Amino acid sequence: MKYPKVPQICVTVDYNAFKIISFNRQINPRNLSRIVTQAQKDFKLHLFPIIVNENMEIIDGQHRFTACKTHGWPVYYIKMPGKSATVEEVYSLNIVGKKHTLSDKIQMLYLAGDAEISKAFVLADRFPKVAASDIVMLCVSHQSSGKTLDSVNRGEYKVTRFREAGELLLALEASTLPERFTNRTIFAVATLCVHNNIKPSQLMSQIEKYKHLVKPYKTKDDVRRNYADVYNYRRHSNSHISGSKKGAK
């Protein structure tokens, strides 16, 4: 394998030379404060240069850059080939340090005008209490599985369940369950509905009726099984649903 040459580290105090990418995540005050506090104690930002492209767009390190600009510190940077930043490029460089999450990437794709993500964000605007990443995955699949996460992460996805996602979120919104908008509840309900071929409103109406039987479980599997038990309560066995991952036989 042929490895690239070690890049040159440059330094400047010309803050106006740098450009913040419009679709990058917003500055996190806590992260910025942590960087500033550490630099004031022991300045080592020269060991962690920011990365820019040929147009001086910051691909990685906007928090470090902001800290330097705010406090008048020199900016250490590495210039990489390329004149236009992409979401994939920004995300791939940042995920190495576990700084960017899937939610960050989804937000960046939306700000960059991704057509599929924009479809899902119509629901995200309608249901602000639900995590945008959950809504995107719900529009892609009824399961928040590793496979679904990977497909969204790689950009190999299509928003094909927009109507189904909307119906499910409306049914949850009508419920009074305190944890109705958590990831585990959303995908437990989605899986039950798909595997048992029932409407979200039908499922949630029955669960709401006997909500005193709902337990505060912490995993999707446990929530799914509990909701199936609650739905089946006082119903004839012929109309029972299955709480298994495979659904009704």
Residue 2: pLDDT over 80: no
What is the Cα–Cα distance from 70 to 72, expressed in whole angstroms? 6
**CA-based radius of gyration for the chain:** 23
Amino acid letter at 125?
A: D
Identify the residue with better confidence: 93 or 132.
132
9-100 fold: 3.90.1530
All CATH 3.90.1530 domain ranges in the chain, comma separated: 9-100
The pLDDT tens digits for 201-220 are 999 999 999 999 999 999 99
Cβ(165)–Cβ(135) below 8 Å: yes
- Tokens at residue 169, please? 């979120």
Please work out, in degrees rounded to the nearest 5, the angle formed at the alpha carbon of residue 128 by the alpha carbons of 127 and 129.
95
The pLDDT tens digits for 12-60 are 999 999 998 888 777 888 888 989 999 999 998 999 899 898 899 998 8
Strand order in the sheet with 50-52: 9-12, 75-79, 50-52, 58-60
What's the pLDDT score for residue 204? 96
What's the pLDDT score for residue 119? 87
Supply the pTM of this predicted model.
0.64
Report the percentage of the chain scoring pLDDT > 90. Answer: 53
